Copies of this chain bind each other. A is one copy, B any other.
């Protein structure tokens, strides 16, 4: 194969290379030079497409949020609307995403280096949480839950995010190798949801567990 002078898809190729390198070496270990090596171009080439290193990483993070949203949507749509299993499935999708790309997950939710956040990243992040709120609202409507769906969504997010962080950072493992994150998640999620729902729906919600993951 001959190597053409013009790459043609260099912008996306650099983003893909950056994401792969973040996955392999972590966000700290990532260097622009590495990404250039991987894409097969000189270290000056990226500056035709990006202002600096951070701009590439912002793009990676934005695509990460889009993928996370897609993952949760895929998990939700195969589960019955209004069931707590559907909410739980989204939580498992969140966890699975982070396990597949822990360093990317940390970049998405970790603090930025004091620079103001990228606009596209914020939009994608809000879309992602917006989907969670929407699903929680559907659940609440279907189960006649009185209460602020936003607050409930925040609590579930908090729980799932905690379980995810402690898993990918190896903190559960440092305490004991007997800990099952799936049990923690499903047990606590159900507890949070059940304590809200009115009587009569519980049998319906109690089945359908352990679908995903």
Contacts and interface: CB of A to CB of B under 8 A. Distances in A.
Interface stretch (A35-43, A187-195, A202-210): A187-195
Contacts of A117: 174
B159 A188 contact: yes
A154 interface: yes
A114 B205 CA distance: 41
A179 interface: yes
Contacts of A113: 26, 28
A158 B191 CA distance: 14
A154 B174 contact: no
A160 interface: yes
A165 interface: yes
Interface string A112-153: 110001000010011001000000000000000000000100
A67 B175 CA distance: 18
A188 B158 contact: yes
